[in-house]
Structure 1
Amino acid sequence: MSIWWSLHLRREAASVPLARRLLIGTMETAGVDPDVSYDLSVALSEACANAVEHGGDPSGSPSEAYRVTAYLDGEKCRIEVADSGPGFPVDRGRPPIRPARTDAEHGRGLCLIEELADHVHIGNKPGRDGAVVSFDKILKWREGAPLMAV
C-alpha cells in the first residue's frame, strides 16, 4: 500500500511544525519505526525552514507559498520541498553544501538533511525560479505495522 500527500503552505514559521506533525502522524499510523520517523521529521523541518527563510520571490511577498509532498511507498519514504524563490546559486552541477562553523546560528539545515536521509537531491526547478530539496529514506517498520512492506 502507498500513501502520498501534498501541502501548499504559506511561507510562515507556523507552517513548519504543521508539516512535521502531518508527516509524523502519517508514519505513526502506518507503523513506521519511531527512529526513522524522527529522522525524517527533522529533515523535513529543516527543508521547510529553508523554504520559509529563503524561498520567497525577490519582492518579498509574505503570501508566497511553498509545497511539501511526501510519498510512503512500501519500503521507502520520499519527501520533496519546493519553493518559488531565487533558487540555489549554482555555477554547474549541484549547489555546494558547506558545513557551518560550530558557533554559527544558521547554515546547518542542508548538512542535517544529508546526514539524516539515505539519498538527497538539491537543485533548482527547471526553467523557472525556485529551489527543490528532495530526500528519501528506507523505512523500518514496527512489528505488526498495518502498512508494512511485504
Structure 2
Amino acid sequence: MSIWWSLHLRREPASVPLARRLLLGAMETAGVDQDICYDLAAALSEACANAVEHGGDAAGDDYRVTAFIDGDTCRIEVTDSGPGFSATPRPPTDPALLTPAPAPTDAEDGRGLFLIEALTDHVRYRNRTGRRGAVVSFDKILKWREGAALPMAS
C-alpha cells in the first residue's frame, strides 16, 4: 500500500507547526515508530521554516508540502517560489541536484539543511525547472510499531 498527501500553505510562521502536527498525526495513526515520526517532524519543520523565511518575495507567497509513503519509505518534498538555491551543481550524476553552501560557523542561523541531512536518510536540493523556487526533498526508512494500523508491505 502507498499513500500520499499534499498541503498548500501560506508562507507564514504559523504554517510550520500546522504542517508538523499534520505529519505527526498521520504517521502516528499509521503506526510509524515514534522516533522516526519525530525525526521526520523535525526535518519537516526545518524545511518549512526555510520556505517561510526564504521562499518568496511577497508575504502572500505560498509553499507546498507533499509526503509519500510507499512501502517502508517516506519521502517529503517542500517546494517554494523564492529565488532558489545559489549553490554548486553536484556533478556528474545529475546537474539539477545542488549542494547548498554551508552556514558560516559563527552564524546564528542557517543550520536547518544540516539538521535535515542528520535526521533523514537521503536529501536532495534543486531549483525548480523553468520557474522560481527551490525544492528540498528527503527520504526516511520507516520502522513500524508492533500492531501498526497500516503496516506497509513493499
Structure 2 length as normaliser, TM-score? 0.90
Deviations 1:11-60 (A, max 9, x none): 0000000000000000000000000000000000000000000001xxx3
Output the CA distance in 2 between the equivalents of 1:100 and 1:45: 21
Q: Residue 94 of structure 2 aligns with which residue?
A: none
Please show how residues 2-41 of structure 1 align to structure 2 within 5 Å: 2-41=2-41
Question: RMSD of the alignment, in Å?
Answer: 1.3
Q: Residue 124 of structure 2 aligns with which residue?
A: 121
Q: Does 1:68 align with 2:65?
A: yes
Q: Is the 8 A contact 1:97 1:110 kept in 2?
A: no
Please show how residues 95-134 of structure 1 align to structure 2 within 5 Å: 95-101=99-105, 104-134=107-137
Deviation at 1:97, TM superposition (A): 4.0
Output the CA distance in 2 between the equivalents of 1:24 and 1:82: 20
SS of alignment partner, residue 137 of structure 2: strand
Q: Residue 144 of structure 1 aligns with which residue?
A: 147
Q: Is the 8 A contact 2:85 2:100 kept in 1?
A: no
Structure 1 length as normaliser, TM-score? 0.92
Q: Is the 8 A contact 2:100 2:125 kept in 1?
A: no
Q: Is the 8 A contact 2:33 2:143 kept in 1?
A: yes
Q: Is the 8 A contact 1:31 1:142 kept in 2?
A: yes
Stretches of structure 2 lacking an aligned partner (at least 5 in a row):
91-97
Q: Residue 87 of structure 1 aligns with which residue?
A: 84
Stretches of structure 1 lacking an aligned partner (at least 5 in a row):
none
In the alignment of these two chains, the number of paired residues is: 146
